[in-house]
Copies of this chain bind each other. A is one copy, B any other.
């Protein structure tokens, strides 16, 4: 690999000092037209690329934003990341992406790595911050890092850690979904998927119950079936549901994956979605409008979530004290997987 040229080489060839070269590089101070031209020509000739590592060392900033998330393979996250990148690029930021697979050890590892690498800020998603009650040691570790590096939690929370957050209002989203079903005439509604120890599930289930009660409808515990977030989990949950004597006419799913799995199993049992059973998802992943039937779901506006997160992080990096919580309003997307009970509609 050939040797890179430095400001010294440029300075020497242009017969000026490195300071002047640095000035034209950054426009940090006036330089005469002629010397500037000469220096620029030489830079161009050598295809000079200033060493960002050296620059970072002196400026004490790397222009890197660390992004910690559970699993880029889950289609929700690529969309968030896209938003992040789009917004971050505008301010010249660059990204260091890590998948934790929800493993707390990896989370800690990456957090430390990011400190070593001197990232300018961290966007943290998933894992411990989605827990209903996060181990105090893990919470403390996160808060500790947040004291030395601007950090924003995306769609998560850690009680009493005082962290800056941007998050979709999942309770509102769930309410939207339930009301939609009620509006179609459903009175017998279930809730599929999730895990009780995760706050995201807890929030959704709580909102589900509240909305049902507000509408004067009964909540049947047997129809609230947790068990995970994957499509396979959704299949199993629907299987369990269908083993009951008495069935609901509609279900809310914790996310689109489980919804897709649930629909599949329902179909295998000879049920027609939506006429025999309405299903609504959550997230609005890209494929939601391509499956059969097209999925009615709640959009978290993943891209917007990412963009907002970067904006908030930027405030923090700029030294401003951002508001503690920036909420994002979810939206109901009505497609084909929901209809009036008994198929009277659609």
Q: Mark A212-256, 1 if CB is under 8 A from B, else 0.
A: 000000000000000000010000000000000000000000000
Contacts of A53 in B (CB 8 A): 53, 56-57, 62, 117-118
A73-B286 in contact (CB<8A): yes
**Contact residue among B99, B113, B292 (Cβ-Cβ distance under 8 Å from A292):** B292
Chain B residue nearest to A260 in the complex (CB): B290
A98 to B94 Cα, complex, angstroms: 8
A82-B78 in contact (CB<8A): no
Query: How many monomers of this protein are in the complex?
Result: 2
Interface residues of A in 120-171 (CB under 8 A from B): 147-150
Quote the shortest CB–CB distance from A306 to chain B (angstroms).
11
A291 is an interface residue with CB less than 8 A from chain B: yes
Interface residue tally for chain A (C-beta within 8 Å): 51
A44 is an interface residue with CB less than 8 A from chain B: no
Chain B residue nearest to A106 in the complex (CB): B89
Quote the shortest CB–CB distance from A90 to chain B (angstroms).
13
A267 is an interface residue with CB less than 8 A from chain B: yes
Chain B residue nearest to A303 in the complex (CB): B73
A148 to B286 Cα, complex, angstroms: 38
Contacts of A96 in B (CB 8 A): 64, 94-96
A97 is an interface residue with CB less than 8 A from chain B: yes
A35 to B238 Cα, complex, angstroms: 63
Task: Using A2-B147, A52-B116, A290-B260 as known contacts, say yes or no to A85 and B57 having CB atoms under 8 A apart.
Answer: no
Quote the shortest CB–CB distance from A164 to chain B (angstroms).
14
A264 is an interface residue with CB less than 8 A from chain B: yes
Quote the shortest CB–CB distance from A141 to chain B (angstroms).
11
Given contacts A53-B56, A260-B291, 4 further A-B contacts (CB under 8 A): A49-B115, A53-B117, A267-B292, A291-B291
**10 A–B contacts, CB within 8 A, in A order:** A2-B148, A4-B148, A53-B53, A57-B57, A73-B78, A78-B78, A97-B97, A231-B287, A264-B292, A291-B292
Listed in ascending order, the chain A residues whose CB lies under 8 Å from chain B are 1-2, 4, 49-54, 56-57, 62, 64, 71-73, 75, 77-79, 81-82, 85, 94-99, 112-113, 115-118, 147-150, 231, 257, 260-261, 263-264, 267, 286-287, 290-292
